[in-house]
Amino acid sequence: MKILFLAFEFPPLGGAGVQRSMKFAKYLPDFGVKPVVVTTDLSGFRQAMPGHPIDESLLSQLAPDLEVERIPFIRTRRLERGGFSEWRRIYFSVVEDLAEQWWPHLDAALPGLLKKYQFAAIYVSLPPFCMAPLGCRMAQKYHLPLVLDFRDAWSQWRVSPYGSWFHYHLTRRLEGQCLHTADGLVCTSQQTRSDFLRVHPDIPSDKFHVITNGYDQPIDDWTLDFHPNGRRFVIGYVGGFYYTPAARESMMRPWWRKPPNRMIQYAPRKEDWLYRSPYFFFRAVARLLEKQPACRERLRIRFAGRKPDWMDAQVAEFNLAEVVEFVGQLDHPSVIKFQRECDALLVTSSKVIGAQDYSIAGKTFEYFTMKKPVLGFVAEGAQKELLKSCGLALFCDPDDPETAAEQLGDLLAGRLQLKPNVRFLKQLHRRELSARLAEVIKSVVKQALL
């Protein structure tokens, strides 16, 4: 069974977003589903997503027999940045313009691709969320069953508010139309599934399937690799944070305290992304160093990835300049090496005020394969529930710096008892997850034939 596997974010584009599609493409053929990846090329990535990392080392991880059709993306309108032009582009948009810009080239290529491969279904990886209506257009035009895979939530996922309630309403309506059109819906956490059903109660619940992200390394022995001693103790973090002070201010400030042009901004719920940053971790570390000054010589906190411009201010606020190190952007093999050289690995989560966080950082699953303690400064929600199940995590309440400092002291001293949940961890291998996706795809194809 061949499927049109639409993944706009795909190698050589780098970053965490490509891992899910790349690994599904690797393992689906083992279960009778052969993906033909439809994406763009290096020039297209650079035009569509300027500044996004390129990691050509990922190309070597693709299966040699994987068929990839690279459809050109040519931006015909200049991406306006700065001042009124950028505000106008963002304010009057509901989704990104990537699909609109890509569609003429994709539409021209589709008849030939359909004739060549005889696709049985269409699978679309999201985000970019604009690929959802594009996938619906393709499925309806060519009468093919459609599976939409939400790596992130859509209408409810906000780092900063919508321009207005009307923007939210249009996004939610478009989201609902796509959910109705699709034959199968996949998301990465139970909380995201619950959110979709809450916002769109008319969508049948059996349309939704939860398939988390996962890891790809073969692990035979899950014995914890944790041997702290008198030498330097390294806590590592990989990737970005999705946090900016300006976006948080827009989200958290009451409407009556905003400038007039922002008073009508709207958020369906408040998400505090400061909790995704290392702020609360730094606060606990600073408290630990006050209590145990000798730890300052021993402890190192290392970040792999692009350093955001707000990071230095956080480091300075807690007097951690001698403790925190930045190694910069790394390709994937170097990321693996970086993680193996750490003694513990940090993960954070945003905080949804009055509700559950829905997001699980993709890095978490690769952290598991290092068999090291995962240090979770996480709020209530999907990320915390996953860490509870794995048996590899030390939980620190970001709102309780005193207790968190004591826990960090125990971690550095080796006073830590963790027991990996091997049965649960084995279920998170990308091959096992691909088997579940294959069943979803086969099911919607079977239903379409009835």
Q: Can you give the pLDDT at residue 364? A: 95
Query: Are 53 and 126 within one domain?
Result: yes
Q: Is 223 contained in some domain? A: no
Write the single-letter amino acid at 16: A
- Backbone φ and ψ for 301, nearest 5 degrees, come out as -115, 120
Q: Can you tell me the distance from the alpha carbon of 318 to that of 89, in angstroms, rounded to the nearest whole number?
A: 38
Mean per-residue pLDDT, 220-228: 88
Q: Is 227 contained in some domain? A: no
Mean per-residue pLDDT, 62-68: 93
Q: Confidence class of residue 83 from pLDDT cuts 50, 70 and 90?
A: low
Q: Is 314 contained in some domain? A: yes
Query: Are 176 and 303 within one domain?
Result: no
Query: Are 345 and 445 within one domain?
Result: no
Query: Are 176 and 87 within one domain?
Result: yes
Angle CA 154–357–87, to nearest 5: 45
Q: Can you give the pLDDT at residue 216? A: 92
Query: Are 306 and 406 within one domain?
Result: yes
Query: Are 344 and 433 within one domain?
Result: no
The CATH number covering residue 326 comes to: 3.40.50.2000
pLDDT digits (tens, 9 = 90+) for 156-166: 988 889 989 99
Write the single-letter amino acid at 39: T
> Is 90 exceeded by the pLDDT of residue 444?
yes
Q: Is 126 contained in some domain? A: yes
Q: What CA–CA distances, in Å, run from 434 to 32, 429, 439?
A: 11, 9, 9
Q: Can you give the pLDDT at residue 94? A: 62
Q: Is 435 contained in some domain? A: yes
Write the single-letter amino acid at 226: F
Q: Is 259 contained in some domain? A: no
> And the tokens for 321?
């300049």
Query: Are 172 and 291 within one domain?
Result: no
**Which residue in this structure is represented by tokens 């398939």?**
211
> Is 50 exceeded by the pLDDT of residue 14?
yes
Mean per-residue pLDDT, 30-40: 98
Mean per-residue pLDDT, 319-346: 94
Query: Are 63 and 208 within one domain?
Result: yes
Q: Confidence class of residue 416 from pLDDT cuts 50, 70 and 90?
A: confident
Q: Total domain count for the chain?
A: 2
What's the chain's average pLDDT?
A: 92
Residues of the chain above pLDDT 70, percent: 96
Query: Are 202 and 347 within one domain?
Result: no
A 10 A CB-CB count for 415 gives 10
- Residue, of 429 and 224, whose pLDDT is higher: 429
Cβ distance 173 to 158 under 8 Å?
no
Question: Domain residues for 89?
Answer: 2-214+429-449
Query: Are 94 and 40 within one domain?
Result: yes
Non-local (6+) Cβ contacts of 106 within 8 A are 38, 71, 134
Q: Can you tell me the distance from the alpha carbon of 340 to that of 357, in angstroms, rounded to the nearest whole number?
A: 28
Q: Is 74 contained in some domain? A: yes
Q: Is 219 contained in some domain? A: no
Q: Can you give the pLDDT at residue 82? A: 54
Query: Are 316 and 377 within one domain?
Result: yes
Q: Confidence class of residue 189 from pLDDT cuts 50, 70 and 90?
A: very high
pLDDT digits (tens, 9 = 90+) for 240-265: 898 999 999 999 999 899 988 889 99
Please state the pTM of the whole predicted model. Answer: 0.91
> Is 60 exceeded by the pLDDT of residue 135?
yes
Mean per-residue pLDDT, 46-75: 91
Query: Are 326 and 383 within one domain?
Result: yes
Q: Can you tell me the distance from the alpha carbon of 77 to that of 97, in angstroms, rounded to the nearest whole number?
A: 10
